Structure 1
Amino acid sequence: MKRPVFKEAKMMAGKKGMDRIVKWVHILEITHVAPYVSKDDLILSTGLWMKEQGSASITYLEQLIRQEASGLCIELGTTIDAIPEEIVAYCEAHHFPLIVFDKPVRFVKITQDIHGVLINQQHQRLKSLEQFSRLFQKLTLATTDISAVLRLLHEFTTRQVVYYSHVETNRFYPKTTPAQSHAITAVIGHHLDQTGSQLNEPVTIRLDEQQDLMLHPIICFDQTLAYIGTQHNRHQEATDTLVVMLDYAAQSIGTMLLRTLFKEEKIQRDQSQLILELMERRIHSEEEALARLGLRVRGKETYLFACGVLELLFGDPQIAQEQKESDFQDFVVLLRALIKKQGLYGLLAASGNRVYLLFAKDRINDHSYKNLENALERLSAELNDFAASRPQPIVLRTGVGRFRSHLLESDVSYREAMQAMEVARDVPAMQQTLFYDRMGIYQLLKAIPEGAFYTSFIDTHLGVLIAHDRDHSFRLIETLDAYFKCSGSKQDTANRLFIHRQTLYHRLGKLNEILGEDFFQPQRRICLEMALLMYHASR
């Protein structure tokens, strides 16, 4: 209405529709207009259709409104001299702009003027998009900072920008309050849940009564990893230019995500390779090992190194393989985050249902050893909490070898970690054991190769008891073990086994009968206790 060609025009109805977009101008005098009107067209007319009898005039308006025309301009003085009241009322009721020229005007002049403005705007948009595209290309090559993309998109659109990610933290530019951020992410999350977790095409989501969110997917390897979007007023339609800008932004962020993923994958491969080579003693220089770990050579015993092994065991055999893989990936992601949380410098290599770990810490003072030990205990506790909180039962077994001052001793430390993990897994009384240093006599047992010697030693000292338990269910093995652990106290043994003392006396009589009355003497007792440890470890 501010254009010179509309200087003599006035708005007779539909002022609430003044914010409608105009994309083209048409001159139409026929009554059947639907096939010739597109969305956002401004219609020019002399009002010839108003000469039709009955409801034809209203039908004409209904067609324009149904086709989502922007508005109607009518020239008076050529065909008609006044606008019927029912026409004005109908336009007002539908907020449909009705513009009237009181005297004849040249429609060609109006079309030339508006088309010129539209073409010029389109030219400016194309120039802006070209500049926008160049800046994004430059930005994509210069950085992997997604925040820079959000900032640039905001500068060109002046709208609130939202980044919703499946793989990292959600972001907002400009920053919003925690309450606003939570509300927006909740709406997006609900929409994704309703539509099947991910979108492959741009979509407009209703945020509230006033605001909508135009959301564009960010796709890598045919997987939607994140979304980029801008907020706009519900009465302000998202333009084609905005859609293109969001597409540019999505492509830029997608490229950044791929670069980051490839970089992380390379780092993880290098970490896995280093751990594997240390375990297999394929690195022969301490300096080379330190360099590959990213540490400087600073003299003797300036670092502490800890090697660990984690194993995930799934208690329910009915769990699908896909669920196991998903839980394992969740575990690895959490493990990386918790390592950072504990302030540890650690590498990891995943294989099957196991994760091999390598930690490094500066040996600053006498407390460094204990500090590293405490950090690993806290890490283990948090991982066990995670395993216990899963919907499906997961058992986590962990072992840590002796701390070392030299990386080239890692192969020995990994063997110790495996032994600690196996003892925690196989011996119920040692389930909470984390460190090889705390295995006690099991260090000696693990140093003895299992096989014929184990079987022979157990059979020599416990074979008759094992056979008796199998045939009579007297639980003599359990009774002997408890009797030794209670240092021969009959009251404590009965309490430990939850049996009456008379029952215990009967069992001890059987033990005397089978083993001889000297089984509690030092030499016999040592052999029997070693056999019991071997028996429990080999089951």
Structure 2
Amino acid sequence: MAPTLRRVATIAPLHLVVLAGRERLDRPVRWVAVSELEDPTPFLEGGELVLTTGMRLADADAVPYVSRLVARGAAGLGFGVGLSHGAVPPSFVAAAEAEGLPLFEVPRDTPFIAIGKAVSELLAAEQYEEISRAFAAQGRLTRAALQPEGVEAVIDRLAREIGGWVLLLDETGAVRHAAHVTGHVTGHVTGVTGVTGSAAGTAGGREPGWAEAAARTLEPELIRLRRTPTLSSVALAGPDEHVIVQPLGRRAFFAVGSSRPFSPTRHTIVNAAGSLLTLSIEQERARGREQRAAEARVRAAALSLLLAGEVGAAEEALAALSGKPGRQAGPPARKPPQPPQLPRGPLSVLACAHADVDLDDLAEALPCFTAPRGGLLVAITPAAEAEAIAEIAGRHGRVGVSSPGVVTVEGSADDTAGRVAGNVAGDLAAGLDQAERALASATPAKPVVRFPDLAGQGLLSLLDPAAGASFAAALLAPLREYGSRADLVESLRAYLTCNGHWDAAAQRLGVHRHTLRYRMRRVSELLGRDLDDPAARAELWIALSL
């Protein structure tokens, strides 16, 4: 905030005398301009204290001169005496009083430069104070970010710093956290969001649901920020409210509102809070990814124990996953938590392959026991729910489903001894084998394949399942282990399906035919087989089908 005329008038060494406009002395002074022109307004921006000795001014010039200064937005007029005029002409005093323009008499012994220096020092001190306030606020926001509640603490602190309200929104626009300072917020988001709230300063603050209502009406601005990545923020202003909306990375937003316009210092505070919130949210996501990776390792170990027949030990390992979840950057997971124990009753096994979806993300979407294994996601689910879960998994990749009830586990959910019917380890291994066989036949056009659907496939049905699977795994292993982003197995499948026609196979994969030619050369080199040899093609097709 710039110093006021009243503050300048109180500087004793300047000996300024107020002659007119005393009721307007609270106007801010943004600069001092010295001019002896009859019309200095073309060289003014507004907010200046204009100083003149009246060298070219006569009584008749008083009204037009003062009127032009007022129209231009000058803060006040200082009239130097002792040179051109022995005293300030009464006509200028009257005109200034009539226009409400503060008028000072500047004595002969007070040089104009002294007034300029005094105002400059006040402006510098004010700017330093503003910067100090901004640094202090940034420090308080940083300390809030270091608190256990992190993001929420920053939101609460920011609301106090700006004396208004703050919303933290997730990527969908839903309210994750909201805060406001009671008694320092306007009663409604008038002219900006159109949300009616309770009056400021009431004991209860805003009406219940004000945050959700504000979030709904801010949705158009969120859409703008999503669609225009170059936009760093959106500023809105109404008669009673000023709002800033900023994205926090790509998965969150925050909105800040106040009854007062945002000064440069308050903008700095809001931007600092935005940086801290972005950092905190990214740290939360990193912690979430680490936690999910750790949980995936536990589930993978539990699956290995189940395949070894150690049902009780597997369930003890899974029980460790029922502890408190880590902090999440966004709303709570919409799916129910994964069961800490293996379900009872008839079970089905699913094998899911998702090239473009993180397996941890897929595991979050499936409401059943899941575990990563060999680049696949294995799901064990009650047989009655297998179809629904396969449909969810099939939306983003390929899924193989075992026969219903291939595994049966009896006993209560608390029975960690794992009383079972039959050989759980053997049945589970068989179910996993069935799911992987079905997965091998899945295609983008038919992403979900069930093992019973494979019956009656001609010559392949005559092969020993275990021997055939072992042969296929060994033959295709070099392709699966190839360290490249290209999926050589799927490329080979498309090439053979299209009977070696480059254009058709490349179109099926969505790549250029030269890219496919290169991949097939790599397949030939890795396998040591000539793909033009019908016998090699037949052998590879059988392996892929198995």
Q: TM-score, normalised by structure 2?
A: 0.51
Change (3 A) 1:137 1:209: closer
Greater fraction helix: 1
Contact 1:218 1:225 in 2 (8 A): yes
Matched, 1:416 2:431: yes
Deviations 1:200-251 (A, max 9, x none): 56544226442221234433xxxx4333342133xx4312221221222122
1:193 is aligned to 223
1:99 aligns with 102
More deviation in 134-143 or 238-247? 134-143
Relative to structure 1, is the Cα distance of residues 126 and 103 closer, same or farther in structure 2, using a 3 angstrom cutoff? closer
Cα separation, 2, equivalents of 1:49 and 1:237: 41
In 1, distance between residues paired with 2:210 and 2:53?
Answer: 50
Q: Which residue of 2 aligns with 1:267?
A: 291
> What letter matches 1:416 in structure 2?
G
- The CA deviation at 1:50 is 8.1
Residues 363-383 of structure 1, C-alpha deviation per residue, up to 9 Å, x if partnerless? xxxxxxxxx788x58975995
Q: 1:152 to 1:349 in 2, by over 3 A?
A: farther
> What residue in structure 2 maps to residue 470 of structure 1?
none
Contact 1:402–1:413 (CA<8 Å) still a contact in 2? yes
8 Å contact from structure 2 (residues 295, 321) kept in 1: no
Matches within 5 A, 1:46-125: 46=52, 48=54, 51=57, 57=65, 61=69, 64-65=72-73, 71-75=75-79, 80-83=89-92, 98-101=101-104, 106=110, 114-125=119-130
Larger mean Cα displacement after TM superposition, 132-141 or 243-252: 132-141
Number of the residue aligned with 1:304: 342
**How far, CA to CA, are the matches of 1:117 and 1:57 in structure 2?**
28
Partner of 2:140: 135
**CA–CA distance in 2 between the matches of 1:265 and 1:293?**
19
User: For 2:342, what is the secondary structure of its paired residue?
Assistant: strand
Counterpart of 2:258 in structure 1 is 232
Letter in 2 for 1:295: A
Change (3 A) 1:274 1:150: same
Give the distance between the partners of 2:460 and 2:426, measured in 1 at CA. Answer: 26
Q: Which amino acid aligns with 2:219?
A: G
- How many residues align structurally? 385
Give the aligned partner of residue 214 of structure 1: 244
Q: Once the 2 structures are TM-superposed, how far is the Cα of residue 290 of structure 1 from its aligned partner?
A: 5.1
C-alpha spacing 1:338/1:296, structure 2 compared with 1 (3 Å): closer
Does 2:40 match 1:25?
A: no
1:184 aligns with 2:214: yes
Aligned residue type for 1:269: A
2:320 to 295, 309, 328: 295
Counterpart residue type for residue 57 of structure 2: K
Could you tell me which amino acid in structure 2 is paired with residue 82 of structure 1? S
| Structure 1 match to 2:459 | 452
Q: TM-score, normalising length from structure 1?
A: 0.51
- Residue 465 of structure 1 aligns with which residue? none
Change (3 A) 1:87 1:138: closer
Cα distance, 1:151 vs structure 2? 0.9
Aligned to 1:506: none
Distance of 1:411 and 1:157 partners within structure 2: 65
Q: Secondary structure at the match of 1:82?
A: helix
- Cα offsets for 1:469-500 (capped at 9, x unmatched): xxxxxxxxxxxxxxxxxxxxxxxxxxxxxxxx
Q: Secondary structure at the match of 1:416?
A: helix
The one-letter amino acid paired with 1:151 is: D
- Give the Cα–Cα distance (whole angstroms) in 2 for the partners of residues 37 and 278 of structure 1: 78
Aligned equivalents of 2:90, 2:429: Cα separation in 1: 98
- 2:72 and 2:284 map into 1 onto residues whose CA distance is 51
- Aligned residues with identical type, % of pairs: 11
Residue 453 to residue 210, structure 1, CA distance change in 2 (3 Å): closer
Q: For 1:238, what is the secondary structure of its paired residue?
A: coil
Structure 1 distance, partners of 2:212, 2:219, is: 10
| Aligned partners of 2:233 and 2:244 also within 8 Å | yes
Assess if the C-alpha contact under 8 Å between 1:204 and 1:212 holds in 2.
no
Q: Secondary structure at the match of 1:27?
A: strand
**Residue 292 (structure 1) shift:** 5.2
**What amino acid is aligned across from residue 291 of structure 2 in structure 1?**
I
After TM superposition, give the deviation of residue 421 of structure 1 in Å.
10
- What is aligned with 1:492? none
- Displacement of 1:154 in angstroms is 1.8
The superposition leaves residues 330-370 of structure 1 with CA deviations (integer Å, 9 ceiling, x where unpaired) of: x986973784xxxx7x5565999x854467xxxxxxxxxxx
Name structure 1 gaps, 5 residues minimum: 314-323, 360-371, 388-392, 457-537
Q: Which amino acid aligns with 2:240?
A: Q
CA distance in 1: counterparts of 2:261 and 2:53, whole angstroms: 30
Instruction: Give 1:160 deviation, angstroms.
Output: 1.1
Distance in 1 (CA, whole Å) between partners of 2:21 and 2:387 is 75
1:336 aligns with: 364
- Match of 1:304, SS state, is coil
Q: Which amino acid aligns with 2:227?
A: S
CA distance in 1, matches of 2:432, 2:315: 21
Task: For 1:26, give the aligned amino acid.
Answer: V
Assess if the C-alpha contact under 8 Å between 1:47 and 1:80 holds in 2.
Answer: no
Q: Is the 8 A contact 2:66 2:92 kept in 1?
A: no
Give, as a single letter, the amino acid of the residue that structure 1 aligns with 2:91.
Answer: A
Q: Is the 8 A contact 1:308 1:414 kept in 2?
A: no
Unmatched runs of 5 consecutive residues or more in structure 2: 11-16, 82-86, 181-204, 323-339, 410-415, 464-544
RMSD: 5.9
Kept in 1, the 8 Å contact 2:400–2:435? The answer is: no
Give CA-to-partner distance per residue, 1:55-98, whole Å, 9 cap, x none: 98489649945xxx7x3334486565434999888xx7xxxx83
Distance in 1, matches of 2:106 and 2:154, equals 53
Letter in structure 2 aligned against 1:232: S
Aligned AA (2:459):
A
Find the aligned partners of 2:66 and 2:232 in 1 and give their Cα distance. 37
